[in-house]
Chains A and B, each alone.
Chain A
């Protein structure tokens, strides 16, 4: 685990750049990680995806399936990739502070 500091906040991250716990998440994290995820400016739509992921995670303790994310946000998967070029898992979940996806990836 590596430690990084950004705008006065400290984050503990793993090799893939996921924060080690959801509690560390704050808006500064999103600002810090966006460029490495190929995003220059965050729009309201980015934030909508991030908030849907966080609300679902707080309620259910897991990240939603892609189909649920697309249904709740109303964004097609293609559009989610336009917002987050590395996709809902590596891109959006990482920015939302959710744990790293696991399984056969």
Chain B
């Protein structure tokens, strides 16, 4: 079928082996005028090297302060079917497991009430329904909540949609039930998710182990990363099988051909704390020096497993560069048991939010507030005890603040008494 707009540049992107979004959009354009105009508008942007969406857009559904990203085309006379092109964020199930039944229902609804185009998924985790008009927002919301048992995700200065790695659903390294934590936090903090009340956005992400498959350390204001505090479980038979070439290292990720693993060079010598020893027959690990980096476990998954006394390390403050520079999250709780209903964790969260809501400036992420007021203030307000594991290295400048209460005599001094001992 011939489409309304010529798209010579986009057509180039139908070539090559990777699935082409242009081919997909054209297939949809045969059914939906919105997609036809979207292709025309996109071609125009490729031509001009400029975006053709207007600034901002404030739309939503009653009762919520977020969940919908309003968007309007700046050439509605040329592309009337994308004059409104709002995005709806839908809260996804933890780790994104679906049945075809629910996806079919969702697609049928979206093809009727929207463009039929989606993003599976947004980087924060939501199912993204791309492109509809203002009058369809309440009907879509009605279907989501009444027909599918689904809710909107977060947007604006609030708790954004939490997300997690695949966790215990299909990973032998997961130290915590990432899906249960994500679901529990999502339900517990619905109010914070739907009605912006924070100085700025706030994200939770949960990974089952330090491999961090959901990138919690980089993309969440509060990162929950599974770990253990007992010993790595070693199956010496299996270690010898790796060394003897019977088992494929890295689960085949470095090539599926069988080869003998050089345990000394590939594992022991690469251990960051050098806490391992291999005599050709037996692998020893001095667990008290292990930093649980996962390297040895990743190379020999059939031989080494995380311990059984599991929990999570809690880190806070990650953010993208704007305004004060990019940050990864920093450790604030080295180890915490994570068992439903996660009361200890939630107590911490509420103390952290109270401090940030009270002290955070408009559009100041938690990581920036900690930079501005100091990690010490954060720890004090969250009732956490400073711990060497919270720093990479001690400070090297001597600008050290003391609490006057901890200094004998305090800050009040009598200059006359001083002068009686020292001439001017």
Which A residues are within 8 Å of any B CB, using their own CB? 15-16, 18, 38, 62, 65-67, 77-78, 81, 85-90, 94, 100-105
Contact = CB atoms under 8 A, between A and B. Distances in A.
Given A15-B72, A66-B157, A89-B196, A101 B58 contact: yes
Contact of A85 (B63, B191, B197, B357): B63
Contacts of B195: 77-78, 81, 87
B389 interface: no
Contact of A100 (B56, B61, B65, B191): B56
Contact of A102 (B56, B62, B197, B358): B56
B89 to A, nearest CB: 11
Nearest to B57: A16
Interface residues of B, number: 31
B196 A87 contact: yes
Given A66-B197, A77-B195, A105 B62 contact: no
B320 to A, nearest CB: 11
B59 interface: yes
A101 to B, nearest CB: 6
A87 B62 CA distance: 8
Given A65-B362, A89-B65, A90-B65, A16 B196 contact: no
Given A81-B195, A87-B195, A105 B56 contact: yes
A38 B64 CA distance: 12
Given A67-B197, A87-B65, A100 B155 contact: no
Q: Pick the 8 closest A-B CB pairs, nearest first.
A: A87-B65, A85-B62, A16-B58, A38-B62, A105-B156, A15-B72, A90-B58, A102-B56
Contacts of A77: 195, 197
6 contacts: A38-B62, A66-B198, A81-B63, A87-B195, A87-B196, A104-B157
Contacts of A78: 191, 195
Contacts of B199: 65, 67
Contacts of B358: 67
A87 to B, nearest CB: 4
Contacts of B59: 16, 90
A66 B196 contact: yes
A87 B64 contact: yes
A104 B155 contact: yes
A87 B60 contact: yes
A89 B363 CA distance: 15
A90 B196 CA distance: 12
Interface in B55-79: 55-66, 69-70, 72
A17 B191 CA distance: 26
B32 interface: no
Nearest to A80: B195
Contacts of A16: 57-59, 70
A90 B70 CA distance: 11
Contacts of A94: 58
Nearest to A18: B58
Contacts of A88: 65
Contacts of A81: 63, 65, 195
Contact of A105 (B61, B63, B155): B155
Given A66-B196, A87-B195, 11 more contacts: A15-B70, A18-B58, A62-B362, A87-B64, A89-B65, A90-B58, A90-B59, A101-B58, A105-B66, A105-B155, A105-B156
A75 to B, nearest CB: 13
A104 B69 CA distance: 9
A86 B69 CA distance: 14
Nearest to A65: B362
Contacts of A90: 58-60, 65
B240 interface: no
A78 B64 CA distance: 10
Contacts of B191: 78
Interface string B320-334: 000000000000000
The CB with the most chain B CB atoms within 10 A, among A81, A87, A100, is that of A87
Nearest to B83: A15
